Structure formats: structure tokens, C-alpha cells
Structure 1
């Protein structure tokens, strides 16, 4: 059984019984609830929650679970002429969500900003043909479920389809042309869409904010 932490929403490796602890929640930058460690499963989530998919701007769709689960994560599906990108991930995946995302062109690649968004990323990848999941090498130790779909990138930037760029951040920066990230664990990952209007604050992950520059 791939148990899911009810506090942070991270799915774990296959075990017959729930793990004793969630390493992400045990970290001092996260928390364990007052009632202690609790677990659920995908089937359990499907009985109590649903995903809402909304167009935030042309070509950008948000995916969020209702009622709120975990820390209220949301993912973004970005449609490009070179393939669709799922930026960050959420715990719940059901048949309705898969159909809706397929109607929007499916997913060609996934990219995760930091460990709070690992959630059920392997389930999402497998549902769309085992698409690659890009995570920065610095976050390797936090990956709770292993898969060949997980790809670790290094350095400060990594290109994605459609001219998007993953940018390794940490703390703050005065260079507003590029994304800056207040890292949640080790320096986290931002992403830049070059087709978004200059100066516009993007839709971002928790603790991540970006200011975009147009393609030149």
C-alpha cells in the first residue's frame, strides 16, 4: 500500500502497514499535527475529495483539491506548442481528473518545486504514460517514493518544452528578471514562462514567487 501522509500529502513507498513517521513532517520546517501522525490512501481521498480545474489565464490551468487536503497544494497545467507541463503536483488523482487533463492535451513532462509538492507525483506520471518528473538533485533525499520517471537535474537552470526554464533559487534576489524562491527545504525550484507578460507576478507554488520577462 502506498500510504499518504494526511498532514503534508506525500505518498510513500509500498508497505503493508502505515510508516511510523513521515520524514518531511518530522523536519523542523514542517510539523506533525497535535493528534500525531496520520495516514490515508488514494482510495480514501477519492471518497471525500474532488479536484477542481480552472483556467487561470490562456494556456494555464490550476488543479486544486476540494475540500482542502494536506497543506492546500495546487498544481498548474501549462499548455505549450511543444508539449504540456505539469508544474508541481497534488495528492489526489481520480478518473475524472485524468479525463479532464487528457481533454486539455495530457501531460508530457512534470516539474516539482520542492518536497511539499511531491505528493502523488508517481501516480500522476504513470497515469500519463510514465512522463518524466524533473526534480533538483539537491532535493533527492526527500523523495519518498522511487521511480524511473524521476529525473534529477543539476546546476542553476534546466530547460523544459515551450521555452520554459526551471531556475534553482534560495532566499531572495534583487534580479527581478528571474524567479526567486524562499526555499522550503534546500534551495527550491522556480520556473519561468517566457511568453507571460513582463512584470506580471506568476501563479506559483507555496513560498515561491516569480516575476517574468517576455521572450525576446
Structure 2
């Protein structure tokens, strides 16, 4: 059994013996299935060839990215806040160095995902950081490939996370 990750879009799937026959996110018009076909990996294999790199973008804002680039080159942001830090979007890989660095910065109070191309390994991130709640808009709920108790699907045009506000902007996906 394993949690397979699509190498084209970086999305992690529920635990299963064999990889899924296809990735619904890649089969959607907003993504693509590579000409070579669907391929799969997992976090352990990805961690043997890739790292998570950090960059200070501004005071209290850090970007995280898998290096070398993986899938569609997603980038996440750790936003420091007095009410608790928020991870905006996720990466397919989580590593011990990032877990430790986030802990040294005060941990996380929430993970907020902008749209399905960033669902990646959101459940792994949540679990590794103390079952941090994950917020996605319910309009994008059909795209979740790995669910769990930390997942919160919010409705409406905005939701408060302490002093921070998530706003549904629409665009690439409905939520």
C-alpha cells in the first residue's frame, strides 16, 4: 500500500496497492497528461532526488519550492502571523528540515489551499505538523484525491482564520 503522487501535477492520492489508472486533475482541460503517459512516485522516492528549498520573500513571508522542479513547479508560502502561521498552498514533498524550520518559527495554525493544483501532499503536511487544519473552498472539493479529518471545506465568499481572511476569488477553478 502506498500514497501515490502524480508526477505531472504533483497530487497525492489515497492509499492503494497500485497507482490509479489516471489522474483526474491531469485529465482536466486546465492541466495535461504528458505525451509519455501518466507516471507515479511517492514521497520517499521523491525525497531521494529532491529537496525543499526556502527563500525569504519579505518580512514574515517565506517561499518554499521543491528543487529541482517537480510536477508543475508549485511554490508554497509560509506567512508568519501573531495569531499563528499559515501555509498558503502545498508542495508534493515534505522533509524533516522543513518540519523543524516551521516548528522553530512557531508551527502552523492553518494550511490554506488556493486551488486543486496545490492539493499535492496537503494531508502529509498537516499530519507532520500536528494535524493542522486545511482549508479549501467547497466548490473545489470534487478534486480532492486524498482526504482526511484535517480537511475543512468552507463555503461562501470568505472565511476568517484569526486575523487573516481567505477570499474566494474564482478564476482557474471555481473555488
Structure 2 length normalisation: TM-score?
A: 0.97
Superposed CA RMSD: 0.8
Q: Where does 1:1-216 land on structure 2 (aligned, <5 Å)?
A: 1-161=2-162, 163-170=163-170, 183-186=171-174, 188=175
Question: What secondary structure is seen at the aligned counterpart in 2 of 1:158?
Answer: strand
SS of structure 2 residue aligned to 1:126: helix
Q: CA deviation at 1:185?
A: 2.2
Q: Any stretches of 5+ residues in structure 2 without a counterpart?
A: none
Residues 55-78 of structure 1: per-residue CA shift (max 9 Å, x gap): 111111111111000101011111
The secondary structure found in structure 2 opposite 1:46 is: helix
Structure with bigger RCO (C-alpha 8 Å, 6+ apart): 2
Number of residue pairs the alignment of both structures matches: 174
Question: After superposition, what is the alpha-carbon deviation per residue over 1:158-211, rounded to whole angstroms, capped at 9, x for unaligned?
Answer: 1112x21111112xxxxxxxxxxxx2222x4xxxxxxxxxxxxxxxxxxxxxxx
Partners of 2:172 and 2:72 lie apart in 1 by 13
Structure 1 portions without partners, runs of 5+: 171-182, 189-216
Give, in angstroms, the shift of residue 17 of structure 1. 0.7
Structure with bigger gyration radius: 1
Q: Partners in 2 of 1:184 and 1:25 — Cα distance? A: 14
Give the secondary-structure state (helix, strand or coil) at the position aligned to 1:90. coil
For 1:53-104, what per-residue CA distance to the aligned partner results, in whole angstroms no more than 9, with x for missing partners? 1111111111111100010101111111110100000100111111122112
